[in-house]
Amino acid sequence: MTRHVPGGKDSNLPRPGEPWTPIALTRWSGEYLQGKGIETGRLDAELLLAHVLGVRRLDIYLQHDRPLAPGELEAFKVLLRRRAKREPLQYVLGRTAFREVELRSDSRALVPRPETEVLVGEVLSWARGLEGPEWCRREEDLVGGGGPGALRALDVGTGSGAVALSLLAEGPFTRVVATDPSPAALDLARENALALNLLDRLDLREGHLLEPLRENESFHVIVSNPPYVPEGEHPFLQAEVGGFEPAQALFAGPEGLDVLLPLVKDAPAFMEEGSLLALEVGAGQARKVAEAMEQAGVFRPIRIRPDLAGRDRVVLGVASR
């Protein structure tokens, strides 16, 4: 590691001839990353070192004074340089925690976000009957049958598979169809499903929006975290997002609605009475998407749910013909 410290705080360095220790390395690296514009520099440095050492983040402090081996330092340096270039931490670590599952994460798909955890939570609440009507508990109303609680879901634009796999892992879903136009993203979703032993219940299909569906298919739930960033916002995105995450999964026309509105229009053809459409939306889009649901004349009731920051994030509509 270089002996220069941003800001000149040489107290964070080991003395000449002394080895690097976890505490000294994370202090120095944290300041280095903060100097690159990363506010969570110290936390990121701790997570990177814990990853290299194969321990929990807490454990690097339990062994704070142990000398680091040259190979450990070199491996850490490689990851630190990647993060300093503003590559998302999840890509550098190669994994992301999402609700109850851990997913492989790389540049083939967006990093799963807390906002999408809210989307999944709304779907699971519905599917478990906490808010939904009797259809999700009556065997005779189940699309495709399969017994009580045997629900089918469609995840449009699955990316890493975070939504689809969470529904299978946590909810009463026997099968989820997951579509995506990106073969690389589908490969990533397949790897995650295999790691979680859920591949036998996941049907991955390549294609845009609802194009991969078969005639007469229908679902209890259609859920999507689609591209919804307006194209003009590209210069204002965080470096981690605009510089590394796949543009195809981010941008959707001048208002960010070029995927959401067609999905609202076409989804009813694959929904039964009482089925749920659940969509994640961007800033300022919830009302427009809710209005599109109203104009479709199919969805009643329609609800808007906030994310953890209080921003309108999820639009829900129940098919009622």
Give the integer Cα–Cα distance in Å for 318 and 321. Answer: 10
In this prediction, residues 8-21 reach a mean pLDDT of 66
Q: Nearest to residue 154, comparing CAs of 207, 91, 83, 103?
A: 207
Is residue 166 within 8 A of residue 98, CB to CB? The reply is yes
Q: Which amino acid is at 184?
A: A
**Token pair for 135:** 């259809």
pLDDT digits (tens, 9 = 90+) for 25-35: 999 999 999 99
Report which listed range, 146-150, 170-174, 277-281, is most confident.
Answer: 277-281
- Mean pLDDT (the chain) is 90
> Residue 137: pLDDT above 50?
no
Q: What is the pLDDT of residue 245?
A: 97
Q: Give the end of a domain, one of 85, 114, 146.
A: 85
Same domain? 63 vs 178: no
**Strand pairing partners for 237?**
none
Same domain? 70 vs 218: no
State how far the alpha carbon of 113 is from the alpha carbons of 103, 141, 159, 240, in Å. Answer: 12, 33, 12, 13
The total number of structural domains in the chain stands at 2
In sequence order, the 6+-apart residues with CB closer than 8 A to the CB of 289 are 257, 260, 261, 264, 279, 281, 315
Q: Where are the alpha helices (DSSP H) in the chain?
A: 22-35, 41-53, 59-62, 70-84, 89-93, 114-127, 162-170, 183-195, 239-242, 260-266, 286-296
The 10 Å Cβ neighbour count of residue 295 is 12
pLDDT digits (tens, 9 = 90+) for 194-225: 999 999 999 999 999 999 999 889 999 999 99
The H or E element containing residue 243 is none
Q: What is the pLDDT of residue 149?
A: 54
Same domain? 177 vs 266: yes
> Exposed/middle/buried for 153, CB within 10 Å: 0-12, 13-18, 19+?
buried
Q: What is the pTM of this model?
A: 0.88
> Residue 162: pLDDT above 50?
yes
pLDDT digits (tens, 9 = 90+) for 250-309: 999 999 999 999 999 999 999 988 999 999 999 999 999 999 999 999 999 999 999 999
Same domain? 174 vs 308: yes
Q: What is the pLDDT of residue 163?
A: 98
Looking at residue 210, which CATH number applies to its domain? 3.40.50.150
**Token pair for 305:** 């749910």
pLDDT digits (tens, 9 = 90+) for 37-77: 999 999 999 999 999 999 999 889 888 788 999 999 999 99
Same domain? 39 vs 169: no
Contacts 24+ apart (CB under 8 A), 287-290: 287/312, 288/255, 288/257, 288/261, 289/257, 289/260, 289/261, 289/264, 289/315, 290/315, 290/317
Q: What is the pLDDT of residue 63?
A: 82
Q: Nearest to residue 309, comparing CAs of 290, 270, 278, 283?
A: 283
Same domain? 17 vs 116: no
pLDDT digits (tens, 9 = 90+) for 77-129: 999 999 999 999 999 999 999 999 999 999 999 999 999 999 999 999 999 88
Same domain? 267 vs 121: yes
More confident residue, 17 or 23: 23
> Residue 134: pLDDT above 70?
no
Confidence of residue 16 (pLDDT cuts 50, 70, 90): low
Confidence of residue 17 (pLDDT cuts 50, 70, 90): low
State how far the alpha carbon of 299 is from the alpha carbons of 123, 177, 180, in Å. Answer: 16, 22, 25
Same domain? 311 vs 163: yes
